[in-house]
Structure 1
Amino acid sequence: MTPEHIGSLAAVLDLVRTGTARTRPEIGRLSGLGRTVVTQRVNQLTELGLLEEGALGPSSGGRAPRELRFRARAGVVLAAELGATSIGVGVTDLAGYVLAEHEEPADIGVGPEQVLSRVEELFDELLAGVRAEQDERLGVWGVGIGLPGPVEFATGRPSAPPIMPGWDGYPVRDRLAARFDAPVWVDNEVNTMALGELRAGSARGQRDILYVKIGTGIGAGLVSGGRLHRGSQGCAGDIGHAAVADEAEVVCRCGNTGCLEAYAGGAALARDGTEAAQEGRSKILADVLTRTGTITAADVSHAAQRGDRAAVELLMRAGRLIGSLLATLVSFYNPALVIIGGGVAGAGDLLLAAVRESVYRRSLPLATRELRITRSTLSDRAGLVGAAFMVIDELFAAERLAHWVGSGSPAGAPGLVAIPLRTPVV
């Protein structure tokens, strides 16, 4: 197929796949393609099993047009979000709808062999269940993974991740591509979370957003002009290791001092909550420490919600520190929407209120005039859904579509990831 042919084929498929157009007349109007070309491309995509005829659409005066549907169940995507303390895996259809999912506690620090072996086991279990319910012939079209550390997107390898001992340079993509015989994309989990919100969450329809994950660590995903901004090597948005203090005694897990994560992340809240319990400044946390032997960020949150003064102060301080840094980003980047997600973000209104106060007080008035700061609507699912959409967007880019559309499926073609794109897809 010529570049013009594949370009028009991809355009027609994208319009139907994203729900932007449902009939041939709508495709022609939105794409600028002639009626004959639209008919040819629709027929070709139908023969390849990517589109199918649906019900009759509304009539504009003549014969009612037949609606078109994307065959989202033609294949599946395996998606996983690996956090510092948990694993979330799922199987989605080609429209990003989650067909099966599972989450369990896990320690990313035990290393890639143990963690990825468990991910593979869970993928196998979920995939077997989906195939048993729907179609035993369902092929794996791609695999998407989000990791809690810097990832070189071009190679799919972690790069000196502070909380992931043993993962530096590990060939995550190569391992999973060989295991499932499918193209694999790997990214930082905050980027997949931002993409999940953009495609299926509270950021749908937005073009300039900032997603901030406040969990064990802190990170940000940036969407500019409707596209995910990864930076030249893939580490854009790593705000958790921006310096917010000059105190040398608080050492971050990355080895530096003064990092935002070391003062306001989940591990920092647990550390400071433990100190408050031991010093007698918080009876509630002291009782938790006596009963369980440990304090978590969730314990600090629960104590604050019960009115514990020390816990309230810890959350407010974390919110102010995060908000002060975000104020700089808001003035510099001027997003329309800031989304706060991650485990610590679910700590009630105190943290969010402190973040908002700092951002609105310290940012430029023009930057905050129409700015919204809100919680994630996808919550724990954002990274999983985003990992699936990362794969879907990459697979249906025109340059890659040209290499697999003739066979009707990219399953069995892990080398697709190496095909360069003229323009990033997200």
Structure 2
Amino acid sequence: MASDPEHEQALRGSGYRGGVVAEEQAQTLLQVLNLVRSGSAVTRPDLVRSSELGRAVITQRLEQLIELDLIVEGDVLAVPRGRSPRGLQFNKLRGFVLAADIGAQGMFVGLADLAGGILERVYLPNDISTGPEETLKTVIAEFDKILHNRQIFDVHLWGIGISIPGPVEFATGRAVSPPIMPGWNEFDIRGVMQDRYNVPVWIDNDVNVMALGELRAGAAVDHSDIVVVKISTGIGAGLVSNGVLHRGAQGSAGDIGHVKVSDDPTIQCRCGNTGCLEALASGWALARRGAELAARGESPFLAERAELRPLAAADVVAGAVSGDRASVVLMTESARLVGDTLARIVNFFNPSLILLGGRLMLAGDAYLATVRNIVYSRSLPLATRELVIAKVALGERAALHGATALALDEIFRPAYFAAWAGENRVPPVLPTEGREPRVTEG
């Protein structure tokens, strides 16, 4: 093959010299890898047919991926005629990623393989208002337990994905003025976790991560333009455009909870503004308004619960499910406001799918039906012609799948992949303020 002009040209243009991988080469390496990862190609002939790369380039890229232990050759496959090829498999156990979905009152922590399969999933109660040190201490303790139980050490751990319930500047992984996270503003989450595990860490807000989960393993698998809305303690939206999560310039895209929906100056939001959607329709708003109704004797159901402890959104949801009239009114008003806000997004963004998730969706189908009616009645006919509005398919599992996808998407991003693949090492940690990136031998 050395005299093959196609092979020689591929070698000259590959950028692969002594362990160095150029970004252009990383593109074709990932093209071959992703065909095998997705199951679109299971043999070398499949790769030639499924890609626009020449046979010699395919051969070279496969050799590199086999050397990286990302692809392994399996048994000889039986074919109707011709030489029987060996099967190709993505080595999903080449590395692992840790994931954490940190919520306002609890967290899911887990371990996944390189194919995104969740191998371990644990729920832990946690009050995020205790601050970042205590919360991350809980995350680290559970991560350590998972790694110890599975006997997976740093050499196998490739990255960590974390979601938090507040605005995140994606480039730095820091929360910025999060309304329900006292003490978290500008806290160096990434630095703490990278110092502990010496692998790269990515952080994003919970609804973006939920959108990634639904896109990779949920109801949005076959959609390219979607809006995922989380209606819980707060309200936010994850936007996916042409199959790619849209974060915006700083990472704050989709923060619909702070769209103004009322001119009443007395409706104070936790962000400091007035009239926000979150101040009227979110879980914390419903808890506040429910407490007011209970105090006035307008809801015996809520008044009875308020005698035991401060009311929460879950009490209003339970009241609506049980038929308590005041709770039903509160939930209906919330759904109308959310639907009206989503109608504006539909007219502007034209998604094919809207998915609703979060605690308020536990109230049953009435909430979803109200949102649908508002969106369909207040959006342009063309924008709603094929629009589907449904609940998230993965439920509370969505964010953990998404946190896993968050890490894997970045690890296998061409520019980042090029930075580590040629050295056959696990990815270097990301730079944080006052710290130098390090590399762990793999």
The question of a shared fold, defined as TM-score above 0.5 by the shorter chain, is answered with yes
From 100, 117, 121, the counterpart of 2:137: 117
* Distance of 1:252 and 1:277 partners within structure 2: 21
Indicate whether 1:31 and 2:46 are aligned.
no
Q: CA deviation at 1:276?
A: 2.3
| 5+ residue gaps, structure 1 | 419-426
Confirm or deny that 1:289 pairs with 2:309: no
Contact 1:312 1:350 in 2 (8 A): no
Distance 1:126 1:317, change over 3 A: same
Q: Verify the 8 A CA contact 2:154 2:197 in the aligned structure 1.
A: no
Between the aligned partners of 1:347 and 1:56, the Cα distance in structure 2 is 53
The normalised TM-score by structure 1 is 0.92
2:353 aligns with one of 337, 343, 361: 337
Separation in 2, partners of 1:198, 1:378: 10
Structure 1 residue aligned with 2:381: 365
- The one of 20, 28, 31 equivalent to 1:11 is 31
Cα distance in 1 for partners of 2:124, 2:40 equals: 36
Identity %: 50
Aligned counterparts of 2:431 and 2:215: Cα–Cα separation in 1: 24
Match of 1:308 among 321, 324, 337: 324
- 1:294 deviates by 2.5
Give the 5 Å matches for 1:127-276. 127-131=147-151, 139-276=156-293
Letter of the structure 1 residue corresponding to residue 366 of structure 2: L
Contact 1:101 1:126 in 2 (8 A): no
Partner amino acid, structure 2, of 1:414:
V
* 1:185 partner letter: W
Q: Distance in 2 between matches of 1:137 and 1:264?
A: 44
In the alignment, the residues of structure 1 paired with residue 410 and residue 225 of structure 2 have an alpha-carbon distance, to the nearest angstrom, of 20
Equivalent position to 1:385, from 382, 401, 411: 401
Greater Cα shift, 394-403 or 195-204: 394-403
Q: State the Cα distance separating 1:90 from its structure 2 match.
A: 0.9
Measured in 2, the distance between the counterparts of 1:61 and 1:213 equals: 53
Q: SS at the partner of 2:264?
A: coil
Query: Are residues 1:351 and 2:367 paired?
Result: yes
> Given the superposition, is the C-alpha separation of residues 195 and 249 from structure 1 closer, same or farther in structure 2, using an over 3 Å criterion?
same
The 3 A distance-change label for structure 1 pair 320 and 69 is same
Q: What's 2:294 paired with?
A: 277
CA contact (8 A) 1:141 1:409 kept: no
Matched, 1:97 2:117: yes
**8 Å Cα contact 2:169-2:175 kept in structure 1:** yes
Q: Report deviation, 1:325.
A: 0.2
- 1:112–1:409 Cα change, 3 Å: same
Which 5+ residue runs of structure 2 have no aligned equivalent?
A: 1-15, 17-21, 434-442
- Read off the aligned partner of 1:309 and give its amino acid letter: R
The answer as to whether partners of 1:184 and 1:417 remain within 8 angstroms in 2 is: no
| Cα deviation code 1:241-266 (max 9, x no counterpart) | 11111112221111111111111111
Q: Which deviates more, 296-305 or 362-371?
A: 296-305
CA shift digits 1:342-361 (9 cap, x unpaired) = 11122211111111111011
CA RMSD of aligned residues (A): 1.9
**Partner Cα separation in structure 2 for residue 402 and residue 317 of structure 1:** 51
Letter in 2 for 1:332: F
Matches within 5 A, 1:31-110: 31-57=51-77, 59=79, 61-110=81-130
Alpha-carbon displacement from aligned partner over 1:292-341 (angstroms, at most 9, x marks no partner): 22322222122211221111111111000000000000110000000001
Q: Give the 3 Å change call, closer, same or farther, for CA 399–19 of structure 1 in structure 2.
A: same
Relative distance call for 1:295 and 1:398 in structure 2 (3 A) is same
In the TM superposition, residue 410 of structure 1 has moved relative to its aligned partner by: 1.5
Q: Distance in 2 between matches of 1:90 and 1:312?
A: 36
Question: How far apart are the structure 2 equivalents of 1:416 and 1:71?
Answer: 28
Give the residue type in structure 1 aligned to 2:105: T
Q: Which secondary structure state, in structure 2, belongs to the residue aligned with residue 162 of structure 1?
A: coil
| Counterpart contact for 1:400–1:416, Cα < 8 Å | no
Query: In the aligned structure 2, how far is the partner of 1:235 from the partner of 1:397?
Result: 21
TM-score by length of 2: 0.89
Indicate if the aligned counterparts of 2:172 and 2:432 stay in contact, CA closer than 8 A: no
Matches of 2:118 and 2:411, distance apart in 1: 18
Q: Which has the larger radius of gyration?
A: 2
How far apart, in 2, do the equivalents of 1:238 and 1:264 lie? Answer: 14
Instruction: Report how many aligned residue pairs link the two structures.
Output: 413
SS in 2 for 1:72: coil
SS in 1 for 2:422: helix
